[in-house]
Every structure is written in structure tokens, then in C-alpha cells.
């Protein structure tokens, strides 16, 4: 924790540096509260001790969960996590989940103080099996994946940092429902079958900015990021993905009980070198985290299937309501955070209530050349102005068994056949 302090021993006292140390301790998320005081050193008239008083948050957790989703069915989750491992600031986690769509296991480690200069180290190992044949909103396929990745983070100043990472991922796909957009990918890869495998090496780069006043439930400050990853030589696929995200918190009163929060994110992906973006790397929106009030993954360009009566050689002409996703996405959200009724003031920092408006759009930037002329009667899947939106209320609780999120939303703008919840 000493590495978070900016007031150095034996130097001139700076109230600004002492306060900055308090903010940096709060950002770690290890503490429920952080306070400080200055005490005079005995037998001196020009020295002070700076004393920080912290109340530690329960940083270790063993979580078990069971839930039910209208699309994903019965789900189970279990995880073990220690955020401040051995009091050294590192984080170790192991978790798994299972639902009607698949099973996943994940082992993670992060060391924010890998070097004395503040360089951080993170790593992740995962195994996943996915089968969305029971999802009525998406074109089905099965995928088995495993991979490993590592990341180094480098601080620039108090608020800015950048990172570089390298990862490996193996995918085996089968039971892929023949579909027009997926067929374009298959042809670009010279794949004859609808069962295939790939292995890719990904290089990632990014920048992060953080001026939030604390790690959990911030009430002021800004957090932003820019990131990208690209496959490198030795990979079967050739693609890149770019993303940008920004979120700000603006208090309306001195106590930070009323706060406006705004967030916007954008993502874009594309193939290169004559190869298409893998269809399992496309974007879709819907559900908590992108567009509340709409079913998970239910927003995006729709699938075009084969039909025996199609008068074209490849037989792709049958429209559907199943989502295949797009290569570009924008999501936005605005929230008014309000005091939670019937909760004591001392517990307001562990419970958050908000009124929100969400909006999102997912589109295919290649639709004009891929299908607009061939399928003139279908919606324009290349139009970013096909925006959906919703409004509602949300409740978040940092409970003893882990974070819980509840939300209720109603669509404001939707299109025919959109799946809402």
C-alpha cells in the first residue's frame, strides 16, 4: 500500500499529495473507508507524521450462484477470488459457470506492483464450451475453445497508463447452421466444410485513463479507455478489433448523494489480407451491460438461411429473425443515481439505485457490398441509425456473497420482431 502514497518521507508536507494518496487507496477497492490525519512529532517543531486510517473491505470471497434466464435456462456459477492476496495487492481468482449454452472455466492472476516503478502484470487461462442451439434469438453453432493471455501495464502519470499483451486462442466449431454471412467467411478461409478449427495469436495494445474517486460505486471523476488487438503471423485468421469506452460521474450535491453518470462505447472489427472477420467475433447488443429491456444478444443484423426453392446457386435467400451480429457497435447510457430508500446512510456506499436510459446500435459496414443489392427487401443492416433504446430503474448491491444487480426496463424505441424482456 505504501506504493500508493505520494507524500514522501522527509520531504516538504503537501496537502495535495496526502489527499492524492487517499484517493489512490480508495481506487484499489480494498477499503470501505479511508481517512487521514497529521500528528506532530515529539521534541520537534518542524516535523509531522501522516497517519492513514483504513477500514478494510472483505477482499476475499467464495461465491456460489444459481439463476434462471428465459433464454439461457438454469445457470450455475462458482468462484474463488482474493483481491489483496497475502496483503500484497495482487489478485488471484478461479471460477466457472454453466447454463444451457455452455460451460466455462477461468483462472486469473494480476499483480499491480510487478515492479517498483508501478508496472503491472496480468494473466488469464480459460476453457470454454458454447452451444447456442437452444437460443431462439441467434443463428446456432457449437464452439470449444481454450487459450491463455498475458498483459503488462505501464503507468504514465497518476491517471494515465498503457498496456501491451499477447494471447493464444484455439477454436473448434461444429454444427454450424449454414448462413449467408458465415458462408462469406468460410469462402474467404478456403474451408469446404461447416466443421472446422482455428488457432490464433493476438497482440493487444491499449490506453487507460482513470480519475474516479473510488473503485466501488464512484461518485465523481472520469474513466476512459482505447484498445485494439490484431492477429499476428502464425494465426489461421486475419482480423483486428478496436474499442473505445468513456464513463463519467458528476455529483449534483456536496454529499454526492445525487449523481449523474454518462457512458458511451464504440467497437469495430474487420478482417484483412483477403480474409473475413470470424462470425464468432461479431458484436450484438441486449441485456445488462449494453441494452437493458432487450434479451441478451438479441440486437444486430439477422441471419439469411438456405432454402431449397431459392433461385440462386448457393440457395441463400431465406430471411429470419435470428441474430448473426455485426462488425460495428455503439452503446450509450445515462443514469441519475439517487439515494436508496430505506437504507441507512452508513450503508449507502454498498447499495446504489439509479434511473437510466440506454441506447444501442449494431450494424454491418460491409452490407452495402455484401447484400444490399442482392436482398433489397430486407432491412438495411448497414444503417447505424437503426437505434434501439430503453428506460428503467436499477439496483446494485455489494452483498457479502458478491455483487448483485437488479434492473427493470421498458423499450422506448424498438423494431418489429425485436425480442424484449
Three-state SS for 310?
Answer: coil
Report in angstroms the alpha-carbon separations of 118 from 14, 50, 101, 162: 22, 22, 40, 12
- Residue 62, pLDDT score: 58
**Angstrom distance (rounded) from CA 10 to CA 4:** 17
- SS3 string, 118-153, reads CCEEEEEEEEEEEECCCCCCECCCEEEEEEEEEEEE
- For the record, the C-alpha cell of 56 comes out as 478494510
What was the pLDDT predicted at 385?
95
- 10-residue mean pLDDT profile of the chain (421 residues): values are 70 77 71 77 80 70 55 62 66 80 87 84 93 75 94 92 97 92 94 93 97 88 98 97 98 94 98 95 91 89 89 87 94 96 79 96 93 88 96 86 80 90 78
Collapsing DSSP to helix, strand or coil, 15 comes out as helix
Half-sphere exposure of residue 196: CA atoms within 13 angstroms, side-chain side: 20
- Where do the domains of the chain lie? 1-57
Q: Classify residue 242 as exposed, middle or buried by CB count within 10 Å of its CB (0-12, 13-18, 19+).
A: middle
Give the per-residue pLDDT at 64: 58
Entry field: residues in the chain: 421
Residue 312: C-alpha distances to residues 36, 315, 375 (Å) = 74, 5, 12
For strands 239-251 and 221-231, give the pairing: antiparallel
Radius of gyration, alpha carbons of the chain: 24
- Whole-model pTM? 0.82
- Which CATH class for the 1-57 domain? alpha beta
Question: What is the predicted pLDDT for the residue at 402?
Answer: 62
**What is the grid cell recorded at 359?**
441506447
Amino acid at each position: 500500500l505504501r506504493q500508493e502514497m505520494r507524500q514522501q518521507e522527509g520531504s516538504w508536507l503537501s496537502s495535495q499529495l496526502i489527499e492524492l494518496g487517499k484517493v489512490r487507496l480508495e481506487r484499489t477497492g480494498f477499503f470501505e473507508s479511508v481517512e487521514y490525519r497529521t500528528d506532530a512529532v515529539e521534541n520537534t517543531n518542524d516535523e509531522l507524521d501522516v497517519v492513514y486510517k483504513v477500514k478494510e473491505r472483505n477482499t476475499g470471497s467464495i461465491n456460489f450462484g444459481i439463476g434462471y434466464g428465459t433464454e439461457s435456462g438454469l445457470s450455475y456459477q462458482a468462484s474463488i477470488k482474493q483481491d489483496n492476496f497475502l496483503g500484497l495487492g495482487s489478485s488471484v481468482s478461479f471460477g466457472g459457470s454453466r447454463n444451457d449454452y455452455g460451460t466455462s472455466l477461468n483462472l486469473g492472476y494480476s499483480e499491480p506492483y510487478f515492479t517498483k516503478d508501478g508496472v503491472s502484470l496480468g494473466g488469464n487461462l480459460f476453457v470454454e464450451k458454447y452451444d447456442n442451439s437452444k437460443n431462439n434469438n441467434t443463428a446456432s453453432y457449437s464452439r470449444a475453445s481454450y487459450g491463455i493471455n498475458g498483459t503488462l501495464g505501464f503507468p504514465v502519470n497518476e491517471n494515465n497508463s498503457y498496456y501491451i499483451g499477447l494471447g493464444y486462442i484455439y477454436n473448434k466449431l461444429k454444427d454450424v447452421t449454414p448462413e449467408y454471412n458465415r458462408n462469406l467467411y468460410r469462402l474467404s478461409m478456403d474451408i469446404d466444410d461447416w466443421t472446422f478449427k482455428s488457432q490464433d495469436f493476438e497482440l493487444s495494445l491499449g490506453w487507460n485513463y482513470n480519475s474516479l474517486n473510488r473503485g466501488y460505486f464512484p461518485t465523481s471523476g472520469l474513466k476512459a479507455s482505447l484498445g485494439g488487438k490484431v492477429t499476428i503471423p502464425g494465426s489461421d485468421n486475419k482480423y483486428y478489433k478496436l474499442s473505445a469506452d468513456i464513463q463519467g460521474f458528476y455529483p449534483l450535491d456536496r454529499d454526492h448523494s445525487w449523481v449523474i453518470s454518462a457512458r458511451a462505447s464504440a467497437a469495430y472489427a474487420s478482417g484483412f489480407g483477403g480474409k473475413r472477420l470470424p462470425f464468432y467475433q461479431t458484436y450484438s447488443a441486449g441485456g445488462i451491460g449494453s441494452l437493458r429491456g432487450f434479451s441478451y444478444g438479441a440486437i444486430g443484423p439477422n441471419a439469411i438461411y438456405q432454402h431449397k426453392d431459392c433461385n440462386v446457386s448457393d440457395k441463400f435467400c431465406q430471411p429470419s429473425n435470428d441474430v448473426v451480429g455485426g462488425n460495428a457497435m455503439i452503446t450509450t447510457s445515462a443514469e441519475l443515481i439517487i439515494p436508496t430508500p430505506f437504507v441507512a446512510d452508513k450503508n449507502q456506499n454498498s447499495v446504489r439505485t439509479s434511473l437510466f436510459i440506454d441506447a444501442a446500435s449494431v450494424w454491418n459496414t460491409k452490407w452495402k457490398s455484401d447484400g444490399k443489392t442482392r436482398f433489397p427487401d430486407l432491412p438495411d443492416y448497414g444503417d447505424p441509425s437503426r437505434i434501439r433504446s430503453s428506460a428503467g430503474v436499477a439496483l446494485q448491491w455489494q452483498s457479502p456473497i458478491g455483487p448483485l444487480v437488479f434492473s427493470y426496463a421498458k423499450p422506448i424505441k424498438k423494431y418489429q420482431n425485436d425480442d424484449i424482456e
